[in-house]
Amino acid sequence: MRILYCNKYNFPFSGTEVHLFELMDLMRSGGHEVALFSMSDPRGPRTEYDQHFLPRVDFKQGKRGLISNARLTAHAIYSREARRRLRGMITEFRPDVAHVRNIYHHLSPSILWELKKHGVPVIYHLNDTTWWRMAALAKNAADGNFGTLRPKTATREDADPRSCWRRRRTFTNGSEHTSVA
């Protein structure tokens, strides 16, 4: 199987990336072909697909002007460049499936539309922290506190996805299945 991993960092920035690279090694040892789509950073190992990586985007850089901030905001929501570069990666690597995690504003959700356009099934990985935050939002909304996020109020029991959404969507082999929770 050919697995395309999509993650904003191409080096072990945090535990998320350490886990990702260990998973990629595990899949390679099982006979699978794997590749990474990411931002380019000299701290990451060289790969045969580096030419498809996005240039490094630093959202924590000091003061910027209004136009720079507007461009960064637009990039975080939708990046034509990310889609274009991923298109090249898909054409060259030809993945059977994509494992997407930690894309947020650096790679942008626009890559999901490109994967769908090419019929690449997606596994979207959400970390526990993400579930807890979503659970906290749902819990606060249920209590009438819209727009507030207090992660300390969320517990593991709150992290049940049925408590966050009335509808759940599951994607398998490119087909969408919706179930009412």
Are 148 and 63 in the same domain? no
Give me the tens of pLDDT residue by residue for the chain, a chain 181 residues long: 999 999 988 988 888 889 899 999 999 999 999 999 998 999 999 999 999 998 887 656 666 677 776 676 666 777 899 999 999 999 999 999 999 988 877 788 889 999 999 999 999 877 655 555 556 666 666 665 555 444 444 454 544 444 443 334 433 334 444 333 3
d(CA 177, CA 181): 13
- Residues 134, 110: one domain? no
User: Can you give the pLDDT at residue 95?
Assistant: 98
Looking at the structure, do residues 93 and 15 belong to the same domain, yes or no?
A: yes
Boundary residue ending a domain (97, 124, 151): 124
pLDDT of residue 181: 34
- Of 124, 143, 162, the one marking the end of a domain is 124
Within 8 A by CB and 6+ apart from 108, the residues are 75, 76, 77, 78, 79, 82
> Could you tell me if 132 and 104 lie in one domain?
no
- On whether both 8 and 78 belong to a single domain, the answer is yes
Rounded CA gap, 26 and 55, in Å? 28
Residue at which a domain ends, from 124, 155, 172? 124
Do 116 and 135 share a domain, yes or no? no
Q: Are residues 83 and 139 in the same domain?
A: no
Residues 60 and 115 in one domain: yes
Pick the closest to residue 10 from 59, 50, 58, 48 (CA basis): 50
Residues 46 and 88 in one domain: yes
- The CATH number given to whatever domain includes residue 57 is 3.40.50
Determine how many CB atoms are found less than 10 A away from the CB of residue 135: 22
pLDDT at 32: 97
Residues 132, 93 share a domain: no
Within this chain, do residues 118 and 176 fall inside the same structural domain, yes or no? Answer: no
Residues 118 and 134 reside in one and the same domain: no
Amino acid 2: pLDDT: 97
Domain that holds residue 113: 2-124
- Would the pTM count as exceeding 0.95? no
Q: For the chain, what is the domain count?
A: 2
